[in-house]
């Protein structure tokens, strides 16, 4: 799986260690995964981007996979999207890429959103997969959202309540999320990928990922409030699963138009996990979007 990609643990100047995979030549694309997964969620899409002429960087977010899981604090700052985005910006500079494209799914899309806001000169164009902004979702919470996204309210409960409950049978919890959010499309997930997700979903990762959500309900909202009314200037793509809750609750492009100047959007024929449920369609949409953007800005120079 991803055998053509390099595989390294890279210690950055800040001291954080990230698991990183790279392959390809051409304009640079950083791919960021979501919960409860790792970079492996891109194993079907990433080779297609390489074949299309892109240089692809895959990274486990801090708190996930084989990347570091630093201690948190009472304000959850180490797992703020600002801290997680800063890791990725530092990684790309370390790899020699000053400008690049970004695509993020789920939590990775929220990191990508913060990355685009905090490092606008580095992000040439950004694609958000199956999200609308965090503050919009919390501000428009109602019964359907709270029922479908109950984990947003479960994972933010004070430690160690969710950690203990999930840790009792982490494999069951993780696979139940894959099944529920894909609307029962279990065949989309290759057994090798699922085994990797479960391997990485240990006690340290369970706690760190809860901290990710706790930050999302606290310090991230403070950072988002500071940016209210400031539109992203780089090209923005929104992709979403037409069978998922995001499609049911939101006019996705219309919501993103409140956060960015130049937005395009497209529904994919799947549930939440676009990179695994609809990999060819997702890859094609990313290729078309990034090629329509100014590739000279994503050459890593």
Q: Which residues are annotated as catalytic?
A: 106, 272
Cα–Cα nearest to 66, from 112, 110, 23, 16:
16
Decide if 53 contacts 28 (C-beta within 8 A).
no
Look up residue 100 and give its DSSP letter.
E
User: Which tokens hold the place of 81?
Assistant: 């999207």
| Closest among 100, 116, 81 to 22, alpha carbons compared | 100
CB 167 within 8 A of CB 36: no
H helices present in the chain, as ranges: 46-51, 81-94, 107-118, 134-139, 143-148, 151-154, 161-167, 170-181, 191-200, 203-216, 219-226, 245-249, 252-256, 274-277, 279-292
């Amino acid at each position: 799986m991803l055998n053509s990609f390099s595989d390294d643990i890279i210690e950055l100047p800040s001291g954080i260690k990230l698991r990183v995979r790279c392959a390809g030549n051409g304009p640079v694309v950083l791919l960021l995964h979501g919960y409860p997964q790792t970079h492996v969620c891109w194993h079907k899409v990433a080779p297609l981007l390489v074949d299309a002429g892109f240089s692809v960087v895959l990274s486990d977010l801090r708190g996930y996979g084989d990347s570091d899981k630093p201690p948190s604090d009472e304000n959850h700052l180490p797992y703020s999207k600002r801290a997680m985005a800063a890791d990725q910006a530092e990684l790309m500079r370390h790899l020699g890429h000053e400008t690049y494209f970004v695509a993020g799914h789920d939590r990775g899309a929220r990191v990508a959103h913060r990355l685009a806001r905090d490092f606008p000169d580095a992000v040439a164009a950004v694609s958000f997969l199956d999200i609308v902004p965090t503050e919009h979702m919390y501000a428009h919470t109602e019964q359907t959202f709270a029922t479908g996204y109950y984990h947003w309210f479960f994972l933010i409960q004070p430690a160690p309540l969710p950690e203990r409950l999930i840790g009792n049978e982490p494999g069951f919890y993780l696979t139940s999320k894959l099944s529920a959010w894909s609307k029962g499309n279990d065949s989309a997930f290759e057994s090798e990928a699922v085994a990797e997700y479960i391997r990485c979903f240990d006690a340290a990762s369970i706690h760190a990922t809860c901290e990710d959500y706790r930050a999302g309900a606290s310090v991230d909202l403070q950072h988002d409030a500071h940016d209210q009314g400031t539109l992203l200037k780089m090209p923005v793509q929104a992709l979403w699963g037409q069978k998922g809750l995001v499609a049911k609750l939101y006019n996705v492009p219309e919501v993103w138009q409140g956060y960015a100047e130049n937005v395009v959007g497209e529904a994919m024929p799947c549930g939440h996990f676009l990179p695994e449920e609809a990999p060819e369609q997702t890859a094609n949409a990313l290729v078309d979007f990034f090629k329509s953007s100014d590739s000279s800005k994503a050459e890593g120079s």
